[in-house]
A and B are shown apart, each in its own frame.
Chain A
């Protein structure tokens, strides 16, 4: 007798879908539990970690933010292969402002976020009118080119970079700043992608022509998505610059391009929580495997291919399904 797997929503999920969630504590907890894990976990974790693992937590958060920024673009139909462009531009703007004009880190970060996002949007504006792989190609090319330009013209410290920048002063400020920003971005932009505005962005990904038919200017929306994504990327760049008190050519390195993609794909694309989840798996993993050095990028590459081919929905969606539904075998 042939059997097939049937998936049915759990009763508690159905009960907690609407205003009825307020019926009992159990339902409320069922809804709040998945959201409380990252919030409480991230806010408490720094208290229990030593300095080394706090640094790891910082880089986890940084890559989560980059993965979120990648995912926002991907959900709007733009596949970026060069997240290091956003990261690097933000890093260089804040580094230059701090090094040459001695502006305080808190102000340079804000300026770098806005200016960096603006600059990235302007750089990529010509490509927005094209669909498909053109965007990917150009985003791949630009960071590699910028490295060459800096190397050749020796501006902003050339190959040496700018070192001795101001730091935030205390490791606690650093870690809590990035954690809070990550939580704000994660939940804020998740909400945004579910709002009407986000629906338009997703629709552009699904079928751009029908969005045009609906009388919506998709270039405006795409450039706004680019600006948002660029702002997140530039912020992380500026933040990392001041944490390491250094900015140089490594900010355009492939790590910052491939890891966010790997995180988003492993965690589950199309859902900002998935991207964050992926970063929380991959970055500590690569930290544990620090000994293998250059093989890390190879590892990310292999992860990417395996997940793209074998498990395209990602880990997060798998867990989500288990949480909301139960499965049973039924006879066909």
Chain B
């Protein structure tokens, strides 16, 4: 049904933008392309699972702890590794990629594979819109995605720390001369990106099982959305996630479901041919495009 794919496409788009927001935030502010992003996402999921099932904490506490710990690991990632190689794009990319792969493969090695690794849904109900049934978790995803986007906007535009973030993003040296500690802000941006990844994981993962492979999928989707929207532009990310999200759900509707995975790739390649800096990445065009 068309209505089904419109509604599920909407949910899918919100999922994509949730996934991409953290990656985009980190890149937009500190210029670090965090290729360990998918690993942080999965890390949050498994941490929450461990807290909830192995240790037996209440679900809310487990969620809070896992988000907190993921944010801390983002901070550690910055201070232990990224700080020493800041500005060397090659080294940053390789190091974060290697860390991401190590974490994911470590989970695989310790046997975190199987159907028992899934988080419970928050509210086990479903509602009807028109004649389409949609479960409560997906509604919650949409709500939390919207809230998160608004909160992020308020944070970056109306708080002191957020303004510092944007200052670093615009011009790091000038920000330094105005007394903004750029290392601190950059590390906070990596950490905040990790926290956003964790929140996305906690909200989205109850829809299915936690698998190591989905860590790679998350990274691919985040990259696709960010490239199409223009790296570092939040509005662009949201627009691009709707574009790709609907493209995916209509592909599933009109073609077959296994062509869905091709959509992000086609989106990346075609946007790179048409407008390489992304749909909304205008002011960085000279830097990114040789």
Partner-B contacts on A (CB < 8 A): 74, 79, 81, 123, 126-127, 129-134, 136-138, 140-142, 144-145, 148-149, 151-153, 208-209, 212, 218, 254, 258, 261-262, 265, 293-295, 297-298, 300-302, 304-305, 308-309, 312
Contact = CB atoms under 8 A, between A and B. Distances in A.
Contact of A298 (B106, B258, B289): B106
Interface in B70-99: 81, 84-85, 89-91, 93-95, 97-99
Interface stretch (B53-61, B122-130, B147-155, B263-271): B263-271
5 contacts: A126-B269, A141-B220, A141-B268, A145-B264, A312-B91
B259 interface: yes
Contacts of A254: 101
A308 B289 contact: no
B11 interface: no
Nearest to B220: A141
A133 B276 contact: no
Contacts of B265: 141-142, 145
Nearest to A141: B220
A66 B264 CA distance: 27
Contacts of A153: 258
B223 interface: yes
B116 interface: no
Interface string B200-242: 0000000000000000100110011001000000000000000
The 4 closest A-B pairs by CB, nearest first: A152-B258, A301-B102, A304-B98, A301-B98
A298 B102 contact: yes
Contacts, number: 131
Given A126-B273, A152-B261, A138 B89 contact: no
Given A126-B269, A141-B265, A258-B98, A136 B288 contact: no
A144 B89 contact: no
A133 B224 CA distance: 13
Contacts of A152: 258-259, 261
B33 interface: yes
Nearest to B274: A126
Given A297-B101, A302-B98, A305-B99, 4 more contacts: A132-B288, A141-B224, A145-B261, A308-B91
A308 B94 contact: yes
B105 A130 contact: no
A132 B272 contact: no
A79 B216 contact: no
B108 interface: yes
Nearest to A302: B102
A145 B220 contact: yes
B20 to A, nearest CB: 13
Contacts of A294: 105, 108-109
Nearest to A258: B101
Contacts of A298: 101-102, 105-106, 109
A301 B99 contact: yes
B262 A145 contact: yes
B149 to A, nearest CB: 23
Given A145-B262, A298-B109, A131 B220 contact: no
Contacts of A208: 290
Contact of B89 (A127, A133, A304, A312): A133
Nearest to A211: B290
Nearest to A136: B93
Given A254-B101, A258-B101, A140 B94 contact: no
A25 to B, nearest CB: 42
Contacts of A130: 272, 276, 288-290
B52 interface: no
Contact of A209 (B102, B109, B290): B290
B46 interface: no
Contacts of B49: none
Interface in B240-290: 258-259, 261-262, 264-265, 268-269, 272-273, 276, 287-290
Contacts of A293: 109
A312 B109 CA distance: 28
Nearest to A303: B98
A301 B90 contact: no
A297 B35 CA distance: 16
A144 B105 contact: no
B94 A304 contact: yes
A96 B32 CA distance: 40
B148 to A, nearest CB: 24
A144 B220 CA distance: 9
Nearest to B270: A126
